[in-house]
């Protein structure tokens, strides 16, 4: 699979949430910009056009997640470049990246460009919001708005009470970082957020879209994951709906079918157990593969083979290391 396709798969939960609720995304992270947009006139995403710009730039690994066309209340059409930064460490080239894609989009479309950045790193002091240079009296610069997720950490109550779905996503991100070394605490936080999802007066599709983001962020050990699904079944029983649990049943069925196809003829009960476990391991390896591709670029055949032959315990250890690792060797270090 090409590296960029793998990166797109890794980003898909965030991207799908933004596509599903773009006005809410803008309202939560960039309220001043949102008020200037005439949402009644609609908006459209330009992913294919953006992919072409990324390919033409030939500047190495760059990520611009969303490009959208909107109309302001003054009647002017603007292009919005929305950059969602999901990596956990600071990037010294971030501001330059925003600068490069801003002028490349302008050059491509000859339209005004508004570049917006969401930073998910844990350092409250790192706030890159401009890039430029001056030579021989010629000055060229870009200053762009920045939304910092860690800024919301001081008011958890406001996040959980906010009806905007991206308030829950921000809370999930903060809880995930806070509970990195406490699976029990992460389980409690994830269960709390899932219950809030069901308490919102949302459509089934919106619940599924934002559940996928929470589930992707807040990974749990297998035994706690099973407990969570039991709780979700209770919640859905109380509310007389079957939203998320239907998705889990489908995943289990696929895992079981995969196991049977590979000849796990060791009894019905054991076959079910093996099928589900194998599906879970393959899913974890696939997510880790995409995450490593995003952080460190295309992987060597040796790394890919190592992932395919690893145990569930190894995969969990490597997945915990990815966010903070500065090089791929740190992920796979023995100690």
- Give the pLDDT means over successive 10-residue stretches in the chain (335 positions): 39 74 94 94 81 56 68 83 68 87 85 88 91 95 94 91 93 91 94 91 84 86 87 83 58 46 46 48 66 70 78 77 74 75
Spatial contact of 116 and 145, defined as CB atoms under 8 Å apart: yes
| Bridging pattern class, strands 113-119 and 146-148 | parallel
Distance CA 220, CA 316 (A): 9
Q: Report the Cα–Cα distance between both ends of the chain, in Å, rounded.
A: 30
pLDDT at residue 101, as a whole number: 83
pLDDT at residue 147, as a whole number: 93
pLDDT at residue 148, as a whole number: 92
pLDDT at residue 55, as a whole number: 58
pLDDT at residue 330, as a whole number: 81
Number of helices (H), then strands (E), belonging to the chain: the values are: 15, 7
Specify the 3-state DSSP secondary structure of 317. Answer: helix
């Amino acid at each position: 699979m090409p590296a960029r396709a793998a990166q797109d798969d890794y980003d898909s939960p965030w991207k799908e949430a933004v596509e599903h609720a773009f006005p809410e995304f803008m309202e939560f992270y960039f309220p001043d910009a949102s008020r200037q947009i005439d949402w009644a006139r609609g908006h459209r995403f330009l992913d294919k056009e953006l992919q072409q710009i990324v390919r033409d730039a030939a500047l190495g690994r760059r990520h611009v997640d969303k490009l959208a066309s909107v109309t302001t209340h003054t009647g002017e059409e603007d292009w919005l470049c929305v950059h969602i930064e999901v990596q956990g460490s600071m990037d010294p080239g971030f501001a330059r990246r925003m600068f490069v894609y801003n002028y490349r989009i302008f050059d491509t479309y000859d339209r005004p460009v508004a570049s917006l950045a969401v930073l998910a790193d844990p350092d409250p002091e790192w706030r890159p919001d401009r890039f430029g240079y001056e030579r021989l009296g010629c000055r060229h610069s870009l200053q762009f708005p920045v939304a910092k997720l860690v800024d919301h950490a001081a008011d958890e109550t406001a996040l959980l009470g906010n009806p905007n779905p991206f308030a829950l996503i921000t809370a999930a991100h903060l809880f995930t970082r806070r509970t990195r070394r406490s699976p029990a605490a992460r389980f409690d936080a994830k269960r709390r957020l899932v219950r809030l999802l069901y308490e919102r007066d949302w459509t089934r599709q919106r619940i599924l879209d934002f559940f996928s983001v929470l589930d992707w962020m807040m990974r749990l050990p297998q035994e706690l994951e099973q407990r969570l699904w039991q709780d979700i079944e209770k919640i859905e029983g109380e509310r007389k709906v079957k939203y998320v649990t239907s998705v889990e049943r489908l995943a289990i069925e696929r895992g079981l079918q995969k196991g049977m196809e590979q000849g796990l003829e060791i009894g019905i009960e054991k076959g079910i157990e093996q099928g589900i476990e194998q599906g879970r391991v393959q899913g974890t390896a696939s997510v880790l593969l995409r995450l490593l591709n995003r952080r460190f670029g295309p992987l060597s055949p040796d790394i890919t083979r190592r992932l395919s032959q690893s145990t569930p315990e190894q995969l969990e250890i490597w997945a915990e290391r990815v966010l903070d690792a500065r090089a791929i060797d740190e992920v796979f270090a023995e100690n």
